[in-house]
Structure 1
């Protein structure tokens, strides 16, 4: 299994297929296994690289880290593999990392897909969701809040449940301490003043029913990136790649092609 060092951290990644490199960046508390469908689909045309961000999956799990660490780790992987150019696709937290990578490497990232994204945040999207619907979450434990949050996050819960089950079968989850560290890494970021540096052809996809990163956040992201295309999936929440998977794969494949 491929590993590499980014400063003092050992990180894991999957490497399948041949062709133009396509880097996949996963969401908060998840890992490369969430992309089982995308890896199987895109490996027929691309060299698909799926990174486990620090604190996640099979990568090292330090006690604390930042979004900037995630971005530097992704850049380190690109340099480790000596990729001159590549495409990048990020979902939720992965889309924040992807923005940072495209800003840092404007001449190397040629195409960029940002899914369920936002351009800034004072705290994690989950913490913002708890605050936004304070009455609904009042009195619940953290586990109870996380269980209830799906009501605000997804449109097709049946598809999401199946996806989560299959992802869990292929990987281990995080402990409570590891989840807290992962969430804390997403506090206080703001790319809005730098998104104009991105030169990649960019597609931003939001789900109409996403209560975690609502569509207005996706539209805001697209407006700050030169010539970006914005799409909204009408029967999706926070996981357009899962809730409308065939539409997502078709549109993304056409965009990358």
Structure 2
């Protein structure tokens, strides 16, 4: 896999598909995940346009730590785009990746042709249950903490063996990275600024998402001046739970159809 050295980190990425003049699709994954969350979208879209995805620092096959803000993660994504000479793109982010995407859309609007936000929000507001889980993070073994977070990210009925596989992958992310970025997400708040984003935006959310509840996304959606909302019967892990439905929603958005 190609890699890029950025500010003490080695970022692993994929860059596939034809360079036909269309704005590349850039996919950014969420907290404790990796670029393979977007496998279905890469397989579909790279047949006809350029698709880029990366492992954020400390995740997947990328090394590095020390980033304490969502804006700093956004800088990593921008550094990769600069390296690949991508001036303008369609930017898609899931969960924390959606926070990164919003940050880029606000700080560098000319670089984002369209914005796709999947299972994300503009301001972090945790339920009491999530707060208790995070409070317990220092008192339980790291893998148990990760397992609890991953299990609640999926709607009931998702195959248990698959959930165990994602627990193992997430547990491979260093604890320092996970907890530091948890703090970064807690500090993230652009809710009062999303009205500044004039980029056509697709908001996709799972109706059974308990990690970042639907009501919080809908609150954000009302502030977007040009947004399409698509709801899917799933939990927080839309790219894994309903990959075809998510791909279809993105495809219709890119081709100007109703989501």
> TM-score per shorter chain, which class?
0.7 to 0.9
Tell me the secondary structure at the aligned position of residue 121 of structure 1: coil
- Equivalents in 1 of 2:60, 2:128: separation in Å? 25
Q: Counterpart in 2 of 1:202?
A: 201
Within a 5 Å distance, the mapping from 1:80-229 to structure 2 comes to 80-121=83-124, 129-131=129-131, 142-150=142-150, 152-158=152-158, 161-162=161-162, 165=165, 173-229=172-228
1:102 positional shift: 1.1
CA distance in 1, matches of 2:2, 2:128: 36
| 1:188–1:23 distance in 2 versus 1, CA, 3 Å | same
Tell me the residue number matched to 1:72: 75
Structure 1 unaligned spans of 5+ = none
Match of 1:47 among 40, 45, 50: 50
How far is the alpha carbon of 1:74 from its aligned partner? 1.2
TM-score by length of 1: 0.84
In structure 2, what is the Cα distance between the partners aligned to 1:2 and 1:68?
24
5+ residue gaps, structure 2: none
CA offsets 1:193-226 (integer angstroms, 9 cap, x no match): 3212222210101111111000012112222221
Contact 2:30–2:97 under 8 Å retained in 1: yes
Q: Where has structure 1 moved over 4 Å in runs of 4 or more?
A: 139-142, 166-169
Aligned residue pairs, count: 251
Q: Is the 8 A contact 2:70 2:185 kept in 1?
A: yes
Given that residues 56 and 62 in structure 2 are in contact (C-alpha distance below 8 angstroms), is that contact kept between their aligned partners in structure 1? yes
Mean Cα deviation higher: 203-212 or 182-191: 182-191
Q: How far is 1:91 from its partner? A: 0.5
Name the CA distance, whole Å, in 1 between partners of 2:163 and 2:47: 21
